[in-house]
Structure 1
């Protein structure tokens, strides 16, 4: 058709259309919680209206409250299209009908079970009365097998193992695995395919090649590391850079920056960043950290990159979107993206996709039509990448992994259809939210009703049965703890399949094992690193204690907004120390006027929070600071009420340090608090902001938490009470054990009651002291001579341990814990 000289409208891409919809929503309602999601739904609804030829007047006549709002948005969108002389991609056929278009040749429609009203109208006009030819291929199925599996993963593994076996027997067969939930379960299915068909890629660093299978589902561009890493680098333009983005850049293989930084240096930089515990960092701070870590090349490269980053000021810098994209591309080139290694077939396609994303984003310039700021430009690029779907090109393969729609019209020798349970087949209806349901039923719009979905599923099922010689149908009999049955659209097969092996293919790699349980050389005459914390971890697992306290292996802290649990614990200990330095004893506490006591507490808390923020180099926003001060004041005032209810006492040791020898070990000890009671005996107090368990002091002849027992051993006969001060919100109390004749608050139990289940049970506190000394001395004597092995005392120790990547206990014994 010759369009020369005609008034041809501008064709909008899908991304440009979404931008227009967002403009409509922004102009009509700024209070929407998810305007982008709503814009995608509006785009989908208008597509249905065009495809099913629903006039606006007919829509208005059947409108309900939700539809009326949609009509307002739709009319505003239509006005924008007319003003800018634009049409959307799905309107092209509708516009062509207004032109003198004719098709004189024969048209054959291959496997078109039904046409939309727009498609029917287009063919009627284009063919000028000539009837199209509908062509359908058929095979008669000879065998139908049905099987059920415990869950979806077992089902997918069985199907994939079956396909591999079939192809090993006859590589010329055409095999299909059909999964109705392919898009939702894509990552899981791809992982199982990889393990089954290419297990060697899980254990080597060889380049990936096209796999021996084709998957019809596409990925969002941001799911590819080479794309997401490029976007992460561009976040360096932000004033506050997310720590996760920095982590990806440091460890990415697609930049030249980290090439000069070995894994140890990158890890040290990452640890410096995470030690700040802030979720964001500024580029100037990052450059300073690289300098401190001695990464000269990385420091210089980041400094050079920072010269291209726009300087922030009160007056926002405005440029065209194209100019911003040009800057972003320069920054990627400066950083050496996509690296200097040879790209494999996957990476090459993904790197080429980046230019398509940049071009698509640049096309938004014609819709925006005004200068924008840096943040807006980065957001447009991020959204374009997220909304760009890409299907990796692979070699032709006899195995196809398909969704339901992609399987229509294709012939195979054998098919395995997954997910054929009664909950998912027929699918549940999903009517459009903006078109009245009666109108959707009248127009026969897909997914509008249960009846429509039943007919659709029947039609698809009949096609499968007529397109294949041998069909295998499976379903998972449980899903989220609910029982599932076979879809009623399938009769029981000729044979009931036995459960196929569902374990992934084993990967056999030659490995060299070296058993090295020798100790790191330590000077046993010096204090043991970690003190009582080492003892506690050693009792739980020897390897954990050595890894954490001797080899200093620690998981980097997670960035948080405000203060985390560790910060709050440190801060509360500090405030309690300062508070009792001023109050000193219970008598002084009782003499305080309540208002003056609150003023003392509030002033002290405010000063110590500010001090902690400075010393720890943690930024605490005014809002979070005020909330933390209020929280701490509430905790302290409630706790002081408990202290008032106790018999008289005086605080004599407050966050004091001392050394203590037990067995062959010397421990550095720091008491939280030691109280002197009215009779002259001592009480050990240990502050806790988390869970407390007195039974951990003595349980089946073992001491699982030695901290308080060790504190008690330091003073031997003088100590008559040991207690946890539980400062946990909603659960504040003094809990512990005391000698039988000591007068103390009732939540502290006598020895005979606290450990009554122990055999033999200590009869008084002195016997408890002697028992603690005996048990802990044996542990201390063993430490220098025992091998360093991962020997967790219970599964809970492993579940709560951050050393798993180091000790690999989970890999060696996956059933542990």
Structure 2
């Protein structure tokens, strides 16, 4: 019944009255029949709009309607003519129409054509002169409308926002995931950490990508903590998946789709997890490193760190989308590189300073996709030096937080 009731209501349109000015009113023909005004603007004087085209009748033609005693469509045209005649008799009237519609040029309303033909046909009563005066008065308003869109002088583009707040209020602590934003869109860091702006939660929560990422990380974290990182079975992974989805995802369709994706990639993930050449030693553990002389702390929480047989580390990060390319990791998405630098500098108390051998992004979208980077000598030190210079530049008073400095796509939003 609820769907039927809504369908019936959606057949009709109820216009909401908007108060633009106390002396300006927007009426339909029905309201204009019983009211008057000193100045009346008649809009939409095109054939097919005023008067409107009669609705097609696939069942009865005109003769059959007349034989059945039904009203002919011409009756509505007659009512439109009556409305026009009443409105055009106001003390001051503006007749307006669009020269072109969405697809083609329009045809003037029959009321306008009749008026123009009548005035042009009585030269002995100065009809053409009166028509020319009417058009000249209308042209004044058309010229004003064109002037609105015609700049008097070239308008220079507004400068890109780049606020420079006092150094004392600039953020002294950022996570490794925020460094990408600091590089691509520094203004987003300014908005979040200095202006303290936060997006409002949606009025109607949905199963969005952010929730999908949170759920995936929780599933894999629990699976690895319970021994799955060393060859645990697919049944155990799917059992944890079902439990987490039931607890965290309230949308049955999303639960079914996300479970199917995990099930499809499960075998490949288990094979990767069992053949990393090491064993998990750190799972979702927080770490921090302070930059000497800059009063700045970098924080991070790696998804997983494996200890390899040679005593070095492998850092693993899970992605619900496609992993970043090698160039993106070097220049923008430096998350794993910075986590590796933190690990080598003792940023994780449970491990102490330990050399990192490999970085791995695990993409779990529809199928498992790996992006593995084997580190070479000095590579992490170079990344850390670039990062230190970046933070040092924002510690200067003349360095601004420029908006959208190096966005990957124009449609991206920080």
Contact 1:537–1:544 (CA under 8 A) maintained in structure 2? yes
Alignment of 1:724 onto 2:361: yes
TM-superposed deviation, 1:671: 0.4
Conserved? CA contact 1:677–1:683, under 8 Å = yes
1:609/1:516 Cα in 2 relative to 1: closer, same or farther (>3 Å)? closer
Give, in whole Å, the separation in 2 of the partners of 1:560 and 1:39: 23
* TM-score, with structure 1 as normaliser: 0.36
2:170, 2:188 → 1: CA distance? Answer: 20
Q: Check whether the contact 2:264–2:367 (CA below 8 A) recurs between aligned residues.
A: no
Deviations 1:725-759 (A, max 9, x none): 2223x35422x3423xxxxxxxxxxxxxxxxxxxx
The CA deviation at 1:609 is 4.7
CA distance change for structure 1 residues 721 and 184 in 2, over 3 Å: closer, same or farther?
Answer: farther
- 8 Å contact 2:306–2:315 — kept in the other structure? yes
**TM-fit CA distance, 1:501:** 3.0
Q: Which residue of 1 aligns with 2:226?
A: 582
Give the aligned partner of residue 738 of structure 1.
373
2:284 aligned to 646, 652, 655, which one? 655
Residues of 2 paired with 1:390 and 1:462: CA distance? 13
CA distance in 2, matches of 1:630, 1:447: 56
Instruction: Give, in whole Å, the separation in 2 of the partners of 1:390 and 1:558.
Output: 39
Residues in 1 aligned to 2:315 and 2:10: alpha-carbon distance in whole angstroms: 63
Measured after TM superposition, the shift of residue 773 of structure 1 is 2.6
- Whole-angstrom distance in 2 between the partners of 1:40 and 1:704: 49
After TM superposition, give the deviation of residue 463 of structure 1 in Å: 4.9
2:4 maps to 34
SS at match of 1:580: helix
Shift of 1:35: 3.7
CA distance in 2, matches of 1:466, 1:523: 65
Query: Deviation per CA, 1:293-325, whole angstroms, max 9, x where unpaired?
Result: xxxxxxxxxxxxxxxxxxxxxxxxxxxxxxxxx
Mark the runs of 5 or more structure 1 residues left unpaired by the alignment: 1-29, 45-182, 195-208, 219-388, 403-416, 505-514, 614-619, 740-763, 803-817
Asked if 2 retains the 8 angstrom alpha-carbon contact of 1:419 and 1:476, the reply is no
Partner of 2:267: 641
Give the 3 Å change call, closer, same or farther, for CA 795–486 of structure 1 in structure 2. farther
Alpha-carbon distance in 1 for matches of 2:149, 2:16: 19
Q: 1:697 aligns with which of 321, 325, 329?
A: 329
Cα distance in structure 2, aligned partners of 1:441 and 1:708: 81
Among 54, 59, 66, the alignment partner of 1:429 is 54
CA distance in structure 2 between the aligned counterparts of 1:793 and 1:522, rounded to whole angstroms: 21
Q: Please say if residues 285 and 301 of structure 2, whose CA atoms lie closer than 8 Å, have aligned partners that are also in contact.
A: yes
1:801–1:463 Cα change, 3 Å: same
In structure 1, what is the equivalent of residue 300 of structure 2? Answer: 669
Partner residue of 2:40? 400
Give secondary structure in 2 for the equivalent of 1:653: strand
State which of 339, 350, 367 in structure 2 corresponds to 1:711.
339
Q: Map of 1:134-149 to 2, 5 A cutoff?
A: none
SS at match of 1:675: strand
Provide, for residues 68-96 of structure 1, a one-character-per-residue CA deviation record: whole Å limited to 9, x for no partner.
Answer: xxxxxxxxxxxxxxxxxxxxxxxxxxxxx
Task: Quote the Cα distance in structure 1 between the aligned partners of 2:381 and 2:45.
Answer: 65
Q: Which residue of 1 aligns with 2:72?
A: 445
Report if the CA contact (8 A) 2:41-2:96 is conserved: no
Shift in CA distance, 473/719, structure 1 to aligned 2, threshold 3 Å: same
Change beyond 3 A, Cα 1:444–1:477: same
Deviation at 1:570, TM superposition (A): 1.9
Q: How far apart, in 2, do the equivalents of 1:669 and 1:531 lie?
A: 5
Q: Distance in 1 between matches of 2:209 and 2:187?
A: 25
Is 2:408 aligned against 1:791? no
**Gap change, CA 1:484 and 1:654, over 3 Å in 2:** same
Partner of 2:390: 779
Contact 1:214 1:401 in 2 (8 A): no
Alignment counterpart, residue 534 of structure 1, candidates 178, 181, 188: 178
Q: 1:780 to 1:629 in 2, by over 3 A?
A: same
Match in the other structure for 1:687: 318
The answer as to whether partners of 1:431 and 1:437 remain within 8 angstroms in 2 is: no
SS at match of 2:198: coil
Taking the TM superposition and a 5 Å limit, the aligned residue runs for 1:47-126 are: none
Does the C-alpha gap of structure 1 residues 783 and 789 become closer, same or farther in structure 2, counting only changes over 3 Å?
Answer: closer
Distance 2:309 2:100 in 1: 68
Give the SS at the match of 1:215. Answer: coil
Shift of 1:779: 1.3
- Quote the Cα distance in structure 2 between the aligned partners of 1:680 and 1:472: 86
Is 1:549 matched with 2:193?
Answer: yes
Deviations 1:374-433 (A, max 9, x none): xxxxxxxxxxxxxxx999x99x8533355xxxxxxxxxxxxxx4463x774663432579
Shift of 1:557: 0.9
Structure 1 residue 486 and structure 2 residue 111: aligned? no
Aligned counterpart in structure 2 of residue 500 of structure 1, from 146, 161, 168: 146
Q: Distance in 2 between matches of 1:642 and 1:633?
A: 15
TM-score (norm 2): 0.65
Q: Is the 8 A contact 2:359 2:372 kept in 1?
A: yes
Check conservation: 2:394, 2:400, Cα contact below 8 A.
Answer: no
Match of 2:155 in 1: none
Superposed, which structure 2 residues align to 1:587-606 within 5 Å? 588-589=231-232, 592=233, 597-598=234-235, 600-606=236-242
The 8 Å contact of residues 183 and 406 in structure 2, kept in 1 or not, is answered as: no
Residues 472 and 768 (structure 1), Cα distance of their counterparts in 2 relative to 1, 3 Å cut: farther
- In 2, the alpha carbon distance for the partners of 1:34 and 1:671 equals 52
Q: CA deviation at 1:771?
A: 4.4
* Residue-pair matches, total: 357
What's the secondary structure of 1:553's corresponding residue?
Answer: coil
1:210 is aligned, of 22, 33, 45, to 22
1:709-738 deviation per Cα after TM superposition (whole angstroms, max 9, x unaligned): 31232345944433332223x35422x342
3-state SS in 1 of match to 2:405: coil
For residues 10 and 254 of structure 2, what CA distance do their matches in structure 1 show?
41
Change (3 A) 1:649 1:634: farther
Measured after TM superposition, the shift of residue 632 of structure 1 is 4.8
Conserved 8 A contact 1:687-1:724: yes
Q: Matches of 1:731 and 1:184 in 2, distance apart?
A: 49
- Aligned residue for 2:72, secondary structure, equals coil
